Amino acid sequence: MKFIQSAAVIAIGLLSVNGCTPGEQAPAATAPVAAPTETAAPAPDVSKLPAGAYRIDPSHASLTFKVNHLGFALYTAQFLTFTADLQLDPANPETATVTAEVDLASLLLPTPPAGFKEELLGDNWLGAATTPKMQFVSTGVTRTGPSTADIAGNLTMKGVTQPVTLHAIFNGGYEGHPQDPNARIGFSAHGTLKRSAFGVSLGIPAPGSTMGVFDDVQIEIEAEFTGPAMAGPAPPPA
C-alpha cells in the first residue's frame, strides 16, 4: 500500500512538471499527505451467539484441495459429501472441539479422463475401497488474532493418522433470524499436508525435478454451521 501511494505521489509530480508551458515554472512542491494508518478489522460480535452444539450446513460448505502438477498449475478438485460437528462456546473459543468425516467416493474432478476418478480412489492413491472415509478430530485450538485461530488435530486416511493444523477465520454469525431460527456461524479455513505421510507417494517428483505430482496438498474449506435454536419465539420479519 505504501509503495502504491509513493508511486502515485511521484507520478503526480512528474505530470505537473511535464504539463508546464515553456517559461512557466512548476508550482512549488508540497509535502505529501501522510497516509492513514491501517487498522485491523474488528472482531465479529459474538455476544449474542449461544454456546452449544453446531453442525455443518452442507448446502453452504465446500471442501477443496489443490496439488501442484508438473510445476505448471495447481490441480484443483473437491469432495462433495462430508459432515462436521462443532462444540463451541463463542466466549471461550479455545475450548472448542470439532470432528469431521469425508466420504471419499464423493470426489469431484474437473473433466476427468476415462477411468481417472477410479484410479484416484484406488489403492495407490486414496484407497476408498478399504477405508471409504477420511476423518479429522481436533486436539486443540489456539487463538492467533481477534477472529483467527489455529485448529490442531489428527487426520486419518488409509488407516494412517497424522497431525494436521488448519488456519481458521471466524467470519461472523447470528443467534437466529425469522427465516432461520437457529444460530448460524461461518468460517474459512486452510491448511497443508504431505500426502506421502499417509502412504500416498506415487508420482512425487525426484529431488531437483518437477516431473510429477507434488507431495504438498493444499486444503481449503468454507463452512457455515447451524446451532442451538433461538431462545423464545423468533421476532417477526422487519
Could you tell me the domains of the chain?
1-39 (no CATH), 52-229 (2.40.128.110)
Looking up cell 448460524, which residue turns up?
A: 184
What are the residue ranges of helices labelled H in the chain?
A: 2-18, 116-121
- Distant-in-sequence, close-in-space partners of 9: CB < 8 Å, separation ≥ 6: 32
What sign has the CA pseudo-torsion 219, 224, 226, 230?
positive
Residues 177-193: pLDDT tens digits? 888 999 999 999 999 99
Residues 106-164: pLDDT tens digits? 999 999 999 999 999 999 999 999 999 999 999 999 999 999 999 999 999 999 999 99
Residues 60-69: pLDDT tens digits? 999 999 999 9
The count of other CB atoms within 10 Å of the CB of residue 158 is: 18
User: In terms of Cα–Cα distance, which of 52, 217, 53 is closest to 125?
Assistant: 217
Distance, CA of 151 to CA of 137 (rounded, Å): 10
User: Rounded mean pLDDT of the chain?
Assistant: 85
Residues 20-36: pLDDT tens digits? 433 444 444 444 555 55
CB of 152 within 8 A of CB of 138?
A: yes
